Amino acid sequence: MQRKITRALISVYYKDNLEPIIHLLGKAGVELVSTGGTQQFIEELGYPVIPVETLTGYPSIFGGRVKTLHPAVFGGILFRRNQPEDEQQAVEFGIKPIDLVIVDLYPFEETVAAGGREDEIIEKIDIGGISLIRGAAKNFNDVLIVASREQYGDLLKLLTQKNCSTDLDERKHFAALAFDVTSHYDAAIFSWFNSKQQIPSFKKSIRTGRALRYGENPHQAGRFFGNLDELIEQLHGKELSYNNLVDADAALNLVQEFSDKPAFVVIKHTNACGVATATTVKEAYLKAYQADTTSAFGGVLATNRPVDKEAAEEINKLFFEILVAPGYDAAALELLKTKKNRMILVQKKPLSETRQFKSLLNGVIEQDVDWKTESMADLKTVTRRAPTAEEVKALLFAAKVAKHTKSNTIVLAVDGQLMASGVGQTSRVDALKQAIEKARSFGFDLNGAVMASDAFFPFADCVELAHQAGITAVIQPGGSVRDQDSIDYCDAHHMAMVFTGIRHFKH
């Protein structure tokens, strides 16, 4: 059903890109109704405006909190044109139809993000605007609703093509967009209130996003929701895929653990196959690559320092999917761009999310992000021999890697270099055996190395195997009813072991 627009109510906070719409409506003879700053804006463009106050018979009251909340306004929006009873009541009460509503809500999220005071934030909770949107969207059979300045371009195109007329399908589409706007707005308000109230309710609204080539596998559709451009800038390469994003997230979370010196990580299927710190990016990369020269092929790479030409020359020898860094020298970037499909990314700011969630079993689970990183203060020596200063540095390094590795995991390392890890095993013993075998296969001598575990040892078998492989110090959470068995074995074989009291399961 096509509807000709004869009357429009326009009430917006931001006036950007509104001018061509006003010109189009004004020249088409559409009657314009408005209030406040929007009314002044339209009048300055040279078009007559009916003030909302004239329509309602009431001035704007309570500091502007009540302007449009009146039957003369909402009746014009909500009355059903095809219902005789509604038509009769509209005539009886002198209510004229409103066929187009354009609203841009008060900037609530922007005010919160800018650190506004509570009273400023409260005043940016739009009441009249949100009500106008809901009313017009509900009556999409008769009314076109434009609920955001993001839609001005589409509106202008539609009105131009249809000579200020609209079809039902178009009105219904804009109504759906309107409820997307209002639901997001309400979710933002609730989140602000709930940051202190802690009501047990899960609400997450993200309106921006992008389609992905596919999901985890080619037969699965995939989409990313969020503002990726706020965190990452892509300088080169093909479009990021679902798996690329998952691995890049794992890489950035791990490399962020290291801030005091250049660090480099190599990720494969979210697990680290290479991690190292050094005095230069080049040296850190070479040490990380050495840990597993096989798995690094096709991996996702990340560093916490800008990439210079010397580092790029080494990295360029490897086939990899993604490289993320805080910056690149011009010569380094030129070299890395020689492979057309490589994804070269710049990380603009650190990761800072405090909550994480995922869907499962017909619902969602949510938790705090694991930002806890062990330090010297967390280490409790439980053996007769305390770790040496060099062993302590290696233990803290290994614990950082273990924190970001799939459970069950064992990490073998020296200070500044991952030697091997056992990942995602159903038993801790199997994880250790995998790590030992892998380290040896890449030529590492484990004598004097350290071992980290993401959770406690239920038996002494792991420290026994570690000792036999040459491991001299161990870091683990502790907490097993048989902790003493592991402690006794370490004491009997001059090993050092520290407990942290902190478990880092990762599933």
Q: Which residues pair with 473 in a beta bridge?
A: 450, 496
Taking the C-alpha atoms of residue 208 and residue 487, their distance in angstroms, rounded to an integer, is: 53
Please report the pLDDT score of residue 390 as a whole number: 96
Digits of tens for pLDDT over the chain (507 positions)? Answer: 788 999 999 999 888 899 999 999 999 999 999 988 899 999 999 999 999 888 877 777 787 787 778 888 889 999 999 899 988 998 998 899 999 999 999 999 999 999 999 999 999 999 989 999 999 999 999 999 999 999 999 999 999 999 999 999 999 999 999 999 999 999 999 999 998 888 999 889 998 889 998 999 999 999 999 999 999 999 999 999 999 999 999 999 999 999 999 999 999 999 999 999 999 999 999 999 999 999 999 999 999 999 999 999 999 999 999 999 999 999 999 999 999 999 999 999 999 999 999 999 999 999 999 999 999 999 999 999 999 999 999 999 999 999 999 999 999 999 999 999 999 999 999 999 999 999 999 999 999 999 999 999 999 999 999 999 999 999 999 999 999 999 999 999 999 999 999 999 999
Question: Which residue in 70, 138, 309, 393 is the catalytic one?
Answer: 138
Is 404 considered catalytic here? no
pLDDT of residue 61: 78
| Contact assessment for residue 97 and residue 87, using Cβ atoms and an 8 Å cutoff | no
pLDDT in tens, 192-222: 999 888 899 988 999 888 999 899 999 999 9
Supply the pLDDT for residue 24: 93
Residue given tokens 């707005």 in the structure block: 185
Give the whole-angstrom CA distance, residue 498 versus residue 474: 6
- Distance (Å, whole) CA 58 – CA 253: 57
Q: Are 266 and 299 within 8 A, CB to CB? A: yes
Task: Compute the CA torsion angle 196, 197, 200, 204 (nearest 10 deg).
Answer: -50
Q: Which of 269, 309, 393, 493 is catalytic?
A: 269
Look at residue 71 in the predicted model and tell me its pLDDT: 86
CB atoms near residue 52 (< 10 Å): 24
CA–CA gap between residue 287 and residue 264 (Å, rounded):
8
Spatial distance between the Cα atoms of 306 and 333, rounded to a whole number of angstroms:
11
Quick one: pLDDT at residue 90?
86
Residue 290 and residue 282 in contact, taking contact as beta carbons nearer than 8 Å: no
- Measure Cα distances from 134 to 168, 297, 399, 431 in Å: 17, 53, 52, 56
Helix axes 128-138, 71-78, angle to 10 degrees: 30
How far is 335 from 96, CA to CA, in rounded Å? Answer: 67
Residues contacting 496, CB < 8 A, separation 6+: 381, 383, 385, 386, 387, 388, 391, 472, 473, 474, 490
Residue 189 has phi, psi (to 5 degrees) of: -65, -45
Q: CA–CA separation, 180 vs 174, rounded Å?
A: 10
The number of C-alpha atoms within 13 Å of 210 and in the hemisphere containing its C-beta is: 11
Report the relative pairing of strands 343-347 and 320-325 from DSSP bridges. parallel
pLDDT score at 190: 94
Supply the pLDDT for residue 64: 75
Torsion angle in degrees (nearest 10) through CA of 157, 163, 164, 170: -60
Indicate if 269 belongs to the active site.
yes
Q: Give CA 198 to chain center in angstroms.
A: 21
pTM for this model (two decimals): 0.87
Is the distance from CB of 280 to CB of 288 less than 8 angstroms?
no
Structure-token pair, residue 400: 């950082």
Could you tell me whether strands 299-303 and 271-277 are parallel, antiparallel, or unpaired per DSSP bridges?
Answer: unpaired
With CA atoms as reference, report the closest residue to 412 among 390, 440, 389. Answer: 440
183-189, long-range: CB < 8 A, 24+ apart: 185/105, 185/108, 185/126, 185/130, 186/130, 188/108, 188/109, 188/112, 189/108, 189/125
